[in-house]
Structure 1
Amino acid sequence: MMKKITLGLIAIFAFSLTAVAQEINWVTLEQALELQKKEPKKIFMDVYTNWCGPCKMLDKNTFQNPDVATYVNEHYYAVKFNAEGNEEVTYKDQTFKNPNYDAAKANRRNSSHEFSRYLKVQAYPTMVFFDEEGGFISPITGYLKPQQLELYLKLFQSDKHKEMTSQEQFNEYFKSFTPTFKE
């Protein structure tokens, strides 16, 4: 009996370690830019708001997916940015704030952060991709399931987007893409 309990506890412990290992390692933008200096990787930024339902679905259904978490952690520095938050952000020697932030509205619609306006984010969620030097690549707007996000993660990570000069080329990539992430 004791042996079964011990084995059960070991299995639970191993499962909890696996679950922790499969979470995305979120950092701040400043941390990601510093990390790039030591080990160049692209940056994947989740631009969200506290009141956004699809943002919460993205956290629960997509970012918790083990395939997504593993791929993002391996190939990107992941950043979460509250588009209506009060965080000060420095990017390309420019400091961005949210001067009209209202703490009383922290979980409701609030003032848009200067950095989200700089990135031209107009809807939530938006995922923004940056290159290995912190240069802006592209925003992708809307809730995406793991396999939908996989397409963009692999497109930008591989730099295939640089070869695409038309919507037709992207459409061809989209049609021929075979996802490997589990839903």
Structure 2
Amino acid sequence: MKKIIHTLVLFVAVSAIGFAQQINWVTLEEAVALQKKNPKKIMMDMYTNWCGPCKMLDKNTFQNKDVADYVNKYFYAVKFNAEGNETVNFKGKTYTNPGYDPAKANRRNSAHELARYFSVRAYPTIVYLDENADLLAPVAGYKTPQQIELYLKIFKNNEHTKFKTQQDFQAYAQSFKPEFKN
């Protein structure tokens, strides 16, 4: 009987892992190409290897079923190491990280030119782009599923176009009723 219970517990644990929700991450170049066929906004996670809040965002927010389902349905999702050495072609320009030091791959490194282009100054920062890959806003800091839901819905529904002042955004945020579960 003990062996059956142990096997059942193991099966349930493995099954739960198998059902973990995944965001369909693509490169920025892929997202821009996909926009030409099916216009959607882009949500770009600007992270670094050494950033604790970035790892929390991956584990607690991006693995959340409601977040993953919403992002996959309404956005192209891009994960980008803002201190990495990737070469990116974006809007007719090539972005690199000339100051990148491979010896510091998992420590603070030089900021990538693309991160600078999007005015990323802290990690994590989620950069939102419109259907033409034009910048909507960089949103800095760790966000829970309910906190990121606010931004996902603001940009997906073009609510940001209604905000004339910071107070307009604050009023919207205070009245916002999150639906995503933890």
Give the TM-score of the pair, scaled to structure 1. Answer: 0.90
Segments of structure 2 that go 5 or more residues without pairing to the other structure are none
Give the count of matched residue pairs: 177
Deviation of 1:40 (Å): 0.5
AA paired with 1:25? Answer: N
Provide the C-alpha distance between the structure 1 equivalents of 2:88 and 2:128, rounded to a whole number of angstroms: 16
Deviation of 1:58 (Å): 0.5
1:141-152 alignment to 2 at 5 Å?
Answer: 141-152=140-151
AA paired with 2:81? Answer: N
3-state SS of paired residue (1:123): coil
Deviation of 1:17 (Å): 5.1
Provide the C-alpha distance between the structure 1 equivalents of 2:15 and 2:110, rounded to a whole number of angstroms: 43
Residue 138 (structure 2) pairs with residue 153 (structure 1): no
Provide the C-alpha distance between the structure 1 equivalents of 2:51 and 2:142, rounded to a whole number of angstroms: 11
Provide the C-alpha distance between the structure 1 equivalents of 2:103 and 2:44, rounded to a whole number of angstroms: 26
Residue 38 (structure 2) pairs with residue 43 (structure 1): no
Q: Which residue of 2 aligns with 1:111?
A: 110
AA paired with 1:18? Answer: F
Deviation of 1:18 (Å): 3.2
Provide the C-alpha distance between the structure 1 equivalents of 2:95 and 2:68, rounded to a whole number of angstroms: 28
Deviation of 1:130 (Å): 0.2
Q: Which residue of 2 aligns with 1:79?
A: 78
Q: Deviations over 1:71-121 (max 9, x none)?
A: 000000000010100001111101100011111110011111111111111
Identity of aligned residues (%): 60
3-state SS of paired residue (1:129): strand
3-state SS of paired residue (1:179): coil
Q: Which residue of 2 aligns with 1:61?
A: 60
Provide the C-alpha distance between the structure 1 equivalents of 2:178 and 2:74, rounded to a whole number of angstroms: 17
Question: 4+ residue runs of structure 1 moved beyond 4 angstroms?
Answer: 8-17
AA paired with 2:161? Answer: K
AA paired with 2:19? Answer: T
